[in-house]
């Protein structure tokens, strides 16, 4: 089991659901569930936030809190600042677990750390899963990914990719559509370099920061998740659904 650090970027002013990481989910804040899952993966866990309310909510949860700037455009940029503050070595493996993913499997977190540790020439990996609902194809909130023969990402999009010109007949020739899961692992040196790289037109258009890596010629290993996460919290409907799911467990 490689040593690795999970950094959870958590801001209060989320555009669609402000304060979502502090919403109650079966008796504790959403981010508390995220932290528990991250600790169960065997990682050292750090929360990177710009808001004292979040810092105060997690002080008793056996994690380090790093206060970061409020002007970051993405969670990756926030993590890059945390890496600098923590003075982590360049070869450190960092796993980015979003603060709004209370049902993130510890097994998947470990999978990301192990995948990067085993592939010394790579600097970044993420995960995907087969789509189990055709409605996801038309949903721009579900990010799709296509890969090459070595499970390296070719492209990510909010649109349907690959486009099935002849229609999806559901048989053996049907395209194996995959959704991207928002978890990443990076080497610390690469993370800092990535954050310092300007956004590209693809990233600005799709609003997907991983396209910056592909645009600049970097490889992203994207295996199937050994276990996919449950509901992430982006909207009021998500927190209602998450509460229903957790109460039914």
List pLDDT tens digits, range 198-238. Answer: 999 999 999 999 999 999 999 999 999 999 998 889 889 99
Query: What is the tens place of the pLDDT at every residue in 14-44?
Result: 777 889 999 999 999 999 999 999 999 999 9
Q: How far apart are CA 41 and CA 230, in angstroms?
A: 16
Q: Look at residue 128 and tell me whether its pLDDT is greater than 60.
A: yes
Higher pLDDT, 67 or 14: 67
From the list 77, 72, 85, the residue with the least C-alpha distance to 184 is: 77
Residue with tokens 């998450």: 242
- Confidence class of residue 141 from pLDDT cuts 50, 70 and 90? confident
From the list 184, 191, 214, the residue with the least C-alpha distance to 201 is: 214
Residue 31's alpha-carbon distances to 48, 71, 83, 182, in angstroms, are 12, 21, 20, 16
What pLDDT sits at residue 249? 72
From the list 127, 94, 154, the residue with the least C-alpha distance to 222 is: 127
Averaged pLDDT score across all residues of the chain: 92
What pLDDT sits at residue 143? 94
Task: Give the number of C-alpha atoms closer than 13 A to the C-alpha of residue 99, restricted to the C-beta side.
Answer: 34
Q: Beta-strand (E) ranges in the chain?
A: 5-10, 24-25, 28-29, 44-49, 64-67, 93-97, 124-130, 144-147, 153-157, 178-187
The predicted model scores a pTM of 0.93
What percentage of residues in the chain have a pLDDT greater than 90? 78
Q: Look at residue 173 and tell me whether its pLDDT is greater than 60.
A: no
């Amino acid at each position: 089991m490689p040593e690795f650090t999970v950094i959870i970027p958590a801001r209060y002013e989320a555009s669609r659901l402000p304060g979502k990481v502090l919403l109650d989910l079966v008796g504790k804040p959403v981010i508390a569930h995220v932290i528990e899952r991250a600790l169960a993966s065997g990682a050292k866990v750090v929360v990177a936030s710009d808001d004292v309310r979040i810092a105060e909510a997690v002080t008793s949860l056996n994690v380090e809190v790093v206060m970061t700037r409020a002007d970051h455009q993405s969670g990756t940029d926030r993590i890059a600042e945390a890496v600098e503050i923590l003075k982590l070595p360049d070869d450190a493996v960092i796993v980015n677990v979003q603060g709004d993913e209370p049902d993130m499997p510890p097994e998947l977190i470990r999978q990301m750390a192990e995948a990067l540790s085993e592939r010394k020439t790579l600097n970044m990996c993420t995960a995907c899963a087969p789509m189990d609902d055709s409605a996801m194809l038309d949903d721009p909130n579900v990010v799709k990914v296509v890969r090459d023969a070595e499970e390296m990402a070719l492209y990510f999009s909010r649109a349907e990719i690959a486009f099935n010109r002849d229609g999806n007949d559901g048989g053996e020739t049907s395209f194996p559509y995959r959704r991207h899961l928002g978890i990443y692992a990076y080497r610390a040196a690469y993370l800092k370099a990535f954050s310092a790289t300007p956004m590209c037109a693809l990233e600005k258009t799709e609003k997907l920061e991983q396209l910056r890596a592909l645009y600049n010629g970097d490889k992203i290993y994207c295996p199937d998740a050994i276990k996919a996460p449950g509901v992430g919290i982006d909207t009021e409907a998500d927190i209602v659904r998450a509460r229903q799911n957790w109460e039914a467990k």
